[in-house]
């Protein structure tokens, strides 16, 4: 388990609190991470608590939030720079909870998977193997890790990795991050 107190903030929220190994966050007004595509704007105001990691890794966390407004979101993020990053987790869109992944290599792309019978809690992980980032969530129905995306980020010796949350349409989205670990990467094997 990672010491939550040891994380650094990009855009620290006005309200956050560490309780044991849990991090509680209440988002600031109109926070987001996005670059250009479709909407034509750049946002780099989301909350990101991270540590720098050398080489390959797996990051794992359970998130639980009070999703109420369009685009409320929380999850994991890997960031090389303002122009190269990936965020993944639960996002509230079209009136329901979705598994959302945004990959940004100069400009952002967005993939959304509706989560049938989803609750406000989800365990997810990001794994880095060189330039490849594997995005997965735990399917609690079958207790198996479901791959949602295999994405590209440019090669780099280190990356910033941690938890992120945003509320582009409001302030006050409340989220808790539980059991964050960042450690050795899982196996490269994708198929049984």
As a whole number of angstroms, the distance between CA 166 and CA 73 comes to 5
* Domain parsing of the chain, residue ranges: 4-181
pTM, 2 dp: 0.95
pLDDT of residue 140: 82
Question: With 90 as the cut, is the pLDDT of residue 120 above it?
Answer: no
Could you tell me which residue, 2 or 109, shows the higher pLDDT?
Answer: 109
Q: In sequence order, what DSSP letters do the residues of 120-178 get, joined into one string?
A: SEEEEEEEEETTEEEEEEEETTTTEEEEEEEEE----SEEEEEEEEEBTT-S--EEEEE
Across all residues in the chain, what is the average pLDDT? 94
Angle at 148 between CA 147 and CA 152, to 5 degrees: 100
Using CB atoms within 10 Å of the CB of residue 3, give its burial: 0 to 12 exposed, 13 to 18 middle, 19+ buried.
exposed
pLDDT of residue 170: 97
**What is the rounded radius of gyration, in angstroms, for the C-alpha atoms of the chain?**
15
Segment 49-105, tens digit of pLDDT: 999 999 999 999 999 999 999 999 999 999 999 999 999 999 999 999 999 999 999
CATH of domain 4-181: 2.60.120.200
Tokens of 88: 């993944």
């Amino acid at each position: 388990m990672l010491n939550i107190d040891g994380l650094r903030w990009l855009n620290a929220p006005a309200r956050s609190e560490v309780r044991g190994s849990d991090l509680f966050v209440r988002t600031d007004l109109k926070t987001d991470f996005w670059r250009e595509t479709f909407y034509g704007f750049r946002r780099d105001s989301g909350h990101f608590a991270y540590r720098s990691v050398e080489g390959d890794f797996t990051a794992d966390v359970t998130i639980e939030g009070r999703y109420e407004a369009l685009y409320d979101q929380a999850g994991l993020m890997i960031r090389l720079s303002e122009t190269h990053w990936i965020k993944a987790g639960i996002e509230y869109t079209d009136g329901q909870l979705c598994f959302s992944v945004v990959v940004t290599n100069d400009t952002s792309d967005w993939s959304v998977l509706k989560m049938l019978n989803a609750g406000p809690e989800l365990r997810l992980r990001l794994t880095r193997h060189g330039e490849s980032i594997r995005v997965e969530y735990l399917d609690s129905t079958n207790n198996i890790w479901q791959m949602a995306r295999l994405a590209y980020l440019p090669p780099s010796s280190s990356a910033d990795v941690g938890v992120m949350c945003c509320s582009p349409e409001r302030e006050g989205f409340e989220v808790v991050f539980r059991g964050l670990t960042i450690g050795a990467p899982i196996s490269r094997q994708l198929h049984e």
